[in-house]
Chains A and B, each alone.
Chain A
Amino acid sequence: DSGVTQTPKHLITATGQRVTLRCSPRSGDLSVYWYQQSLDQGLQFLIQYYNGEERAKGNILERFSAQQFPDLHSELNLSSLELGDSALYFCASSASSGGLETQYFGPGTRLLVL
């Protein structure tokens, strides 16, 4: 158990819909990262938040957004969903702002868009 929790574990929705994925980092960790794992792309970095502020951005679509709240939990919002958004979404956390740090991953949310 990494100490990172993610809800829900599974999500099935329809194209065009909007969903919210939630992540709670390990106790004391200030950074939260979001990654997407699809069949053909492997694990891809989406976005990092550090202590409530956006720190780094990867290949995140404009239809996706995230935020980190004062209690340090984070939410990833996916809107206007398309079939290709079906994937595993992982959240990870690290102690500080990143760089030479280990990231610990949650169990993931499996999203299926029908």
Chain B
Amino acid sequence: DQQVKQNSPSLSVQEGRISILNCDYTNSMFDYFLWYKKYPAEGPTFLISISSIKDKNEDGRFTVFLNKSAKHLSLHIVPSQPGDSAVYFCAASAFNAGGTSYGKLTFGQGTILTVHP
């Protein structure tokens, strides 16, 4: 039962253009969402987050949009740079889901982003 899904295994974008990474979730208890970037042989690096009371959060070149009714979030990177090439993970947590998943992050399978010069 995959509660967080990233349906695109890979995305290729030209430098300077927009990268849009998508994520869908099924658990309506999720109320905090995060995006992580990961290089091979390194741990995930936190990029940006959004709580369920917001529909948009922006940090520099990164913007996350949340559509609660569609249970969908997306990460926009503008402009994309070759250094952005990495695996991007969407993750979600539920503040209180019966006391059994407090703090637990549920991850999607990741999307490999390649930004071409």
Contact = CB atoms under 8 A, between A and B. Distances in A.
A77 interface: no
Interface in A92-110: 92, 94, 97-108, 110
A41 to B, nearest CB: 9
Interface of A: 2, 4, 6, 31, 33, 35, 42-45, 48, 50, 55-58, 90, 92, 94, 97-108, 110
A48 B102 contact: yes
B103 A94 contact: yes
B49 interface: yes
A12 B43 CA distance: 19
A31 B108 contact: no
Nearest to B34: A102
Interface string B37-55: 0000111111001010000
A31 B103 contact: yes
Give the interface residue-count category, chain B: 20 to 34
B108 A56 contact: no
Contacts of B101: 56, 58
Interface centre among A57, A58, A103 (most CB of B within 10 A): A103
Nearest to A104: B46
